[in-house]
Every structure is written in C-alpha cells, then in structure tokens.
Amino acid sequence: MTTGTVLIIGAGFAGLGTAIRLRQAGIDDFVVLERASDVGGTWRDNTYPGAACDVPSPLYSLSYAPNPGWSRAYSGGAEILDYIRSVVAEFDLRPHIRFGANVTGLSFEEGSGTWTARTEDGRRFTARAVVLASGPLANASLPDIPGIESYTGHKIHSARWDHDYDMTGKRIAVIGTGASAVQIIPRLVEQARTVRVFQRTPGWVMPRLDHGYPGWLTKLFRRRPAVQHAYRAALFWAHEVMALGLVWNSPFTTALQAVARAHLRLTVRDSWLRRQLTPDFRIGCKRVLMTSDYYPALQRENCKLITWPIATLAPNGIRTADGIEHEVDCIVFATGFEVHKTSTPYPITGRGGRVLAEEWSTGARAYKSVSVAGYPNLFLTFGPNSGPGHNSVLVYNESQVDYIVRAITLLRDRNLRTMDVRADIQDAFNAELHRKLARTTWNSGCRSWYLTEEGFNAAMYPGFAVQYARELAAFDADDYHLSG
Amino acid sequence: MAFDFEDMLRTVKDKQWALVDIDWDAPGADLITEEQRPKLKQFMTDLVWIENIGARGFAALARKAPNETVKEIYTYFHAEEQKHANAELALMRRWGMLEGDQVPEPNVNVRLAIQMLDRYADGAPLSGLATLIPMLECALDGALVKFLLDEVADPLCHEVFKHINSDESRHIAVDFQVLDLVGAGPLRRLLIESASILKPQILLGLLLYVPLLNKMRDNIVAMGLSERKLHNAVKRFVTNGQRSANTRRIPAYQLFKRQAAMVVDRTHPYHRYLADPLVRLTSRIPARLTGKTPSWARELTHEPVAE
C-alpha cells in the first residue's frame, strides 16, 4: 500500500496539470495513477490518421508552459503528444507517475478520512485527497447495432487505431460522422479502394483555417514570449466571442449557420448531397465540426455517403434499410466515447457507503463541476457541466486545477480530515445552472452526446469561459463542511 | 389508447429484411408469359418509380415530423420505399426485362413529379404530404399490388411482395396515426398551415400531380385492373381517415378525399375538363425540358450486394 497526500488518477492534460500546480504550491507527496504505459491520455489513445485538435495550438496548450515551436495553426495528434511529453520532462513529473495502474474502484474511509484506490493488478493506493482526472473521452464506445458480433471482417475504433492494418486497396466503411470521422475520412480516401461513410445525422461544418507557422514567427515566439502570450490572448477572445452564437440561440447563431451553409454550397456540387449534409438543428446544439477537407473527400470517386439507417451488421458487411448489403473489408467505428453523464468509469464509494453512479443515475451533478456532496476530499477535473462549446477545454481545466489546488492546500494547511461540499449549496448551484442551461443551444431540441436520453445536460457549461474562470477563482470554505 | 410510436419504431427495426435474404435464382421466373412481358414491364417500371417518389416523400416528411420518434420512423420508411423499388427492379431483372445495370426510364409525368418533389417537397405543408402519402399507399397496396399478384404466377414475386406488403401495412398504420396527431392540433394552426398550399410552387405541384395520377390510373386500367379494385382502395383511404375525428378536421384530407373520389369515377367531369387535357399536354413536354434527374432518383439498384 502506498500513502500520500494526493492521488491523481490519469496522466493526460488534466492529471499532469494538477501535478504541476500541486508542486508549485509546495505539495510534493502525490502520486499519479496511469492505466497505460505512457502519458498523454486522449492524445496517446487517439492516433487515427488525421487526428488533430479543433482549437488553435497556442490556445490548446498550458498557459504557463507555452510552446513556441508549434508547426501549424491546428497541430496534429503526434505533435500534441510530443508537447505533453515535453511538459512532463520540463516539470520532472515521471517519478510521480505509476504506469500500468488501472483503477478499478475508489472508496472513502470515514475514520481515517482517506481514500483508497484499488488497481486491476491488486495494488492499493491511499491518500487524503483524490483528483479524478480520468477525462471525459477516456473510454471508447461501440454503437448498439444489431449483429455487431456477427461481422467477420476487421473492426477498428477510432480511439484505438490499429496501425498494423494496411488500408491500401481495401473496402472500408466508416460509421459515424462526428469530429473524429471528419478527420479520418479525408486520409482514408487517399489510401483505400472504396470508403463508404454511414451517416446518422449530419453536423454543422465550419471551414478550418489551418496553416503552417512561418519560421520567422516561431523565432519571434522564442525570443519574445510576450508576443506569443498576446497571440494566445487574441485567440482566446476570438473564441470567447463565438459563445454568442454557439452557446445561446441568437442572431449570431444564424450568422454562423449562414457561414456554414455558404461553405457547404461552395464545396458540394450535388444538391441532394447538400441536402443530406444539411443539419436540421441550430448550430452549436451539437459539436461544430471544423474541417475544410471533409466535403471534398466525400465527393471523391471512391467515396460515398450513405444516409440509409443501418439495419444490421452481417458477416461480410453492413446491411442498410434500403435492402442493400455493403460488403467491406474493414469497419471503422468513429462513434465517440462513453461520456459519463449518468455513471462513473469505476465504482466510487463515498460517505456511508453511498455510490456515486447511483446518485448520478438520472444525470451527473456536482458543485462548480469539481466537488460532490457526500464524497469528501474528492475532486473532479472535467466534472459535470464543465464542457465548453466554443473555447479551449484547457482554459476551463486550468481554472478547475487552480480551484482544486486551493482546496487541497487548505486541507493540508489546516490539517483537516474532511472537506465535504454542503448538499444545500450544491443543490442551489445546480438549480441555477440548469435554469441557465435551458436557454442554451444544447438544450434547444437536438439529441447529442451532451444530453442523456431524457434530455438532461450534464456536460456543458452555460456561459463564457471567463464566467467559468470567475466562478472558480475563489474558493469559499463556507461552501464546505470542514472537520478536523 | 394512444398509439405507441416507440413500439412501432422497435417493430420497424426488428422487421428489416434485405435483398440478399431472397434467392433471386429460385425456380419460377419462366412462369411469366411472353404475352405478359411487355405490359408487365411497363407496370413494374411505373411501380418502381412510384416507390421512388414515395421514398422522397417520406424524406420530406422526416423533416417535418411532429416528434423525434416519428422522424426516425419516417427515415426508415424512406429507406424501405427505396428497398421496395430495388426489390421490384430485381424482379424485373429476374424476368429478363433489364439489360445489364440498366434502370428503366421514368415516363414524362414521373419525371415532372421528380422535379417537383426535388424542388418543393421539403417546403410543402406537413398536413398535405401526410395526407397524400397514405392515399397513394392505399392505392398501391390495395389495388396495384393485389392486381399484380393476381396476374403473376412466379412464386418468388409473391414472396417478395409478402415482405413489401408487411412493410406497407406499417406505413399505412403510422400514416393514419400521424394524421390523427396532426388533426388534433389547434384549428387555427391547421388552417394557417393549409393556407401555405396557396404558394404558387405548391399549386403547380398539385396541378402536375393530377396528370401523373390519371396517366397511371389509365395505364393500369388498360392492363386489366378493374375499376372496382381501385374504387375499393380509395374507399379504404376514406374510411380509415373518417374513423378519426381529428383527421376529418384536416383541410388537406378533405381535399384529397374528394379528389380521390373523382379519380376513380371515370364519368366525373374532372376527367374531361382537367385530368385528360393535362395528360395530353404533359405528354407533349420533351424529355430535355424536364431537367436533369436529381441524384436521389439515380440511386436505384437491383444488386443485393454493393461492392
């Protein structure tokens, strides 16, 4: 058994960011539990061809660890992973990380005021506080399609890419047309014999203004970090403005839709294909797709968009409801992730044996997305209602981490046994939050992975990034029950 | 008890069948006589295109569906109509009526209907489309298909149409439930929605629909379909609709009900003064003027497997 002050679960952006900030606050006895053998989280797992970030790289990096060497505006997955590794080296985090530690359960012990994490290999780690940095996109999800087990060809999930499988000359099906799919498809059409894209609902597509950074700019960023800082700030505010159209349904939403429609009209010639690609919900309701090469890829000779519902998977391929069987050598599932809106990645047992997944069965709720009543000294990163629809997730994450570090510092400084958010404070917070959510585009009537089947939004934050940051800037001990 | 659309959606998903489920080389293809062949080819061609037009109608309806479940059901129905067209093409292929990958050409009225649907179906009022589709399906199911099965001895044709009829019975059940739902809305909304029929493009669409229906009616009757059968099929549309007080409130239902009654009655002045002249007029429209066929009408295939 290993004991320390803090256990951090997950060595992705959030876990590593927490580790850095804890150390900067003078807390050194923490352990990072990582199920894989390397750092990087989502960026380590998602190595599919074309994987890249939707947010410009200077904004999709830690504010206190700028990277002047980004090669382009929207960097690819490999470059982001390199950045994460460089951060680990710069802040000397490796000694704190326990690789191969796949957490299978977490439980709180009232007497000692400690949490114990059990791992798959039988190890136990105990600490005063736990930071759940497992990430919302940690677990790949296969769709519920009849006959999925009967298919005998090759299967690949976008988040667990099989690099040993050669796509050259193969007949490939891609199921899903979300953020991963629109990045994969343009690469696949260059390699495969045929690519069939199975779409359920089309998303709004905005052109992505990707470009390489010229050498002189990289040099300038290196020599004058303030310039890069200012550039990041400009990108941040440009994204903040987008909230006006993407978070709330407004004339700005209509303007953004007009841009997306114009993009569609200019790049897709066939009117029926355009109709098939035109969403019937307001932009922002689902994640906006940022790509300039998806539409051209769909119109390549060897590519076909199929919008018929999938009836069943058969041994040789996919049968659609128009009665046709599409024979394929490989199916790529770009069907997203298991986002924990009503559950947790592993059982989490709090005070008096309460189980978090049971309390969240109708939708996850927390206080400021970080604390949950009944689970003292437990902190979440990317917790309920912390997702942005318009800005870099790392901006939100830095606010969470700073809040958590403030809380843990107080725990240590006052030598507290437990710090448990008050249930009444949490309830009032959620009532207000969901009142605000009701007026957002996400809750305007479409189905998306942000919502539960019942339409409960446990994913998104209804406001600007600056509002979120302000909300988390102060840690008020009065919001918590503290015990010594 | 309220109709359970969720349950219907589950049934639709469970009842999916594919062209590969059918042995297209099974014995019986030679039961088609040489005398039947040319007429049957024309009949099947019309049928394929009616299914294709119906498919596009459901695609338009899916956009206007009153709720998410109905929308998903319509999405399946859109595909199922296409499946029926594909299966009918496969039958034609089995009977040696198609060469290679050839898809038979639609007649001028069908081409006009395709153009109209392509341009205006998405903008047509829900109550109008939701009324028109069950009327066509009643006629299809109750008259055309029954007639076909009486005429054709090939057992495989009967097997295929068992699947198609099973699908169509669900389509008709949903169609009338949706009409009931639409008719239950406030009268003011119904009237405003129905008033959108006065848009010039919709009026033009309706005007083109008259010869389309009439030409098909005449073709089919010429092949031997009794007027009685057509009459009964339309009566089924009327009686199904009359059962619901809500449906009776829908202006489009009242309109199509009357028009359907006129179509089946060859002695009605409607034929002499409107339908027949329009059939003659449209038949003179050269093919090049009907415009380029939209890509949705070029997706038909008789191949059960796409490579």
Two tokens, residue B118: 């392509």
The domain ranges of chain B are: 5-285
Question: Of the candidates B83, B295, B305, which has its C-beta nearest A322's C-beta?
Answer: B83
pLDDT at B88: 96
Residues in chain A with pLDDT values less than 70: 1-3, 137-139, 338-340
Q: How confident is the prediction for chain B on average, in pLDDT?
A: 88
Tens-place pLDDT, residues B32-78: 999 888 888 988 998 899 899 999 999 999 999 988 899 999 999 99
A-chain CB neighbours of B75 within 8 Å are 309
Q: Which residue of B has its CA nearest to A278?
A: B63
For residues B241-261, average pLDDT: 88
Residue A121 CB partners (closer than 8 Å, separation 6+): A100, A101, A102
Do residues A138 and A337 make contact, with C-beta atoms less than 8 angstroms apart? Answer: yes
Task: Report DSSP state, residue A95.
Answer: G
At residue B270, the pLDDT reads 86
Inter-chain CB proximity B83 and A321 less than 8 Å: yes
pTM of the model: 0.93
| Contacting B residues, span 1-30, partner chain A, CB-CB under 8 Å | 13, 16-20
Chain A residue closest in CA terms to B14 = A311
Q: Bridge partners of A4?
A: A127
pLDDT digits (tens, 9 = 90+) for B122-132: 888 888 889 98
And the tokens for A419?
């710090």
Find out whether B113 and B52 touch, Cβ atoms under 8 Å. no
Round to whole Å and give the CA distance between A402 and A155: 41
Paired tokens of A107:
């439980």
Chain B CA closest to residue A273? B295
- Substitution target in B70, B72, B75, B292 with the highest count of A β-carbons within 10 Å is B75
Q: Which two tokens stand for residue A205?
A: 């597509």
Among chain A, residues having any CB pair with chain B shorter than 8 Å are 146, 171, 194, 270-273, 275, 280, 308-309, 311-312, 314, 317, 319-327, 447
Candidates B10, B11, B70, B80: best to mutate against A (most CBs of A within 10 A) is: B80
Structural domains of chain A, with CATH? 2-139+338-483 (3.50.50.60), 154-204+248-333 (3.50.50.60)
Residue B172: pLDDT over 90 = yes
Name the band, by pLDDT with cuts 50, 70 and 90, for residue B110.
confident
Chain B residues near residue A194 by CB distance under 8 angstroms: 307
- DSSP string computed for A54-73: SS-TTTSS-TTS--TT--BS
For residues A232 and A59, the answer to whether their CB atoms sit within 8 Å is yes
**Is B123 near chain A, with CB under 8 Å?**
no
User: How confident is the model at residue B208, as a pLDDT?
Assistant: 75
Q: What is the pLDDT of residue A447?
A: 79
Alpha carbons A108 and A95: distance in angstroms, whole number: 26
Which residue(s) pair with A321 in the sheet?
none
Q: Which residues of chain A have a CB within 8 Å of the CB of B83?
A: 321-324
Of the two residues B193 and A65, the one the predictor is more confident about is: A65
- Would you call B293 an interface residue with chain A, using a CB distance cutoff of 8 Å? no
Query: Which chain A residues are within 8 Å of B296, Cβ to Cβ?
Result: 272
- Cα B11 from Cα B13, distance rounded (Å): 5
Closest-CA distance of chain B to residue A452, Å? 15
Instruction: Identify the pLDDT of residue A1.
Output: 53
The answer to whether residue B121 scores a pLDDT higher than 90 is: no
B145 near B138, Cβ under 8 Å? no
Contact between A309 and B75 using a beta-carbon 8 Å cutoff: yes
Task: Give percent of chain B above pLDDT 70.
Answer: 99
Between strands A114-119 and A103-109, the pairing is antiparallel
* pLDDT at res. B137: 87
Chain B nearest C-alpha distance from A322 (Å): 4
* Alpha-carbon gap, residue B279 to B108, rounded angstroms: 10
pLDDT at residue number B206: 74
Residue B261 C-alpha, separation from nearest chain A C-alpha, in angstroms: 33
What is the least distance, in Å, from the CA of A309 to any CA of chain B? 7
Number of H-type helices and E-type strands within chain A = 13, 20
What is the pLDDT confidence band of residue B17, given thresholds at 50, 70 and 90?
Answer: very high
> What pLDDT score does A463 carry?
95
* A325: nearest CB among B79, B80, B304: B304
CA distance A269 to chain B (A): 11
Chosen from A271, A299, A324 to mutate, greatest number of chain B CBs within 10 A: A324
Residues 56-95 of B with CB under 8 A from A: 63, 68, 72, 75-76, 79-80, 82-83, 86-87
- What amino acid occupies position A115? W
- Asked if the C-beta of B295 comes within 8 angstroms of chain A's C-beta atoms, the answer is yes
Task: Name the DSSP letter for residue A208.
Answer: -
B153-189 as b/e: b if 16+ CB within 10 A: ebebbeebbebbbebbebbbebbbbbbbbbbebeeee
Calculate how close chain A gets to B104, using CA atoms only, in Å.
19
User: Cα(A82)–Cα(B116) distance, rounded to whole angstroms?
Assistant: 56
* pLDDT digit string, tens, across residues A453-477: 888 999 999 999 999 999 999 999 9
Interhelix angle B200-222/B36-64, rounded to 10 degrees, is 150
| Least confident window among A224-228, A283-287, B108-112, B154-158 | B108-112
Inter-chain residue contact A308 with B19, CB threshold 8 Å? no
Query: What is the rounded CA–CA span in Å between residue A373 and residue A421?
Result: 5
Interface probe for B, chosen from A145, A318, A322 (most Cβ of B below 10 Å), is: A322
Residue A323: closest CA among chain B residues belongs to which residue?
B18
> Per the structure block, which two tokens stand in for B222?
């010429």
Cα separation, A5 vs A412, whole angstroms: 8
Residue of B69, B70, B87 lying closest to B21 (CA atoms)? B87
pLDDT at B235: 87
CA distance A229 to A220: 12
Do B62 and B126 form a contact (C-beta atoms < 8 A)?
A: no
Q: Specify the pLDDT at position B111.
A: 86
The pLDDT score that the predictor gives to residue A2 is: 57
Instruction: Select the CATH number that applies to the domain covering B5-285 from these four: 1.10.620.20, 3.40.50.300, 1.10.3720.10, 1.10.1240.10.
Output: 1.10.620.20
Q: How confident is the model at residue B289 (pLDDT cuts 50, 70, 90)?
A: confident
* Better pLDDT: B198 or A368: A368
What confidence score (pLDDT) does residue B5 get? 95
d(CA A193, CA A327): 12
- Burial pattern A343-373, b for ≥16 Cβ within 10 A else e, equals ebbbebbbeeeeebbebbeebbbbbbbbbbb
The pLDDT of residue A137 is: 67
Asked if the Cβ–Cβ distance from A447 to B303 is below 8 Å, we say: no
C-alpha–C-alpha distance, residues B95 and A266, integer Å: 44
Q: Measured between beta carbons, which residues in chain A are less than 8 angstroms from residue B76?
A: 309, 321
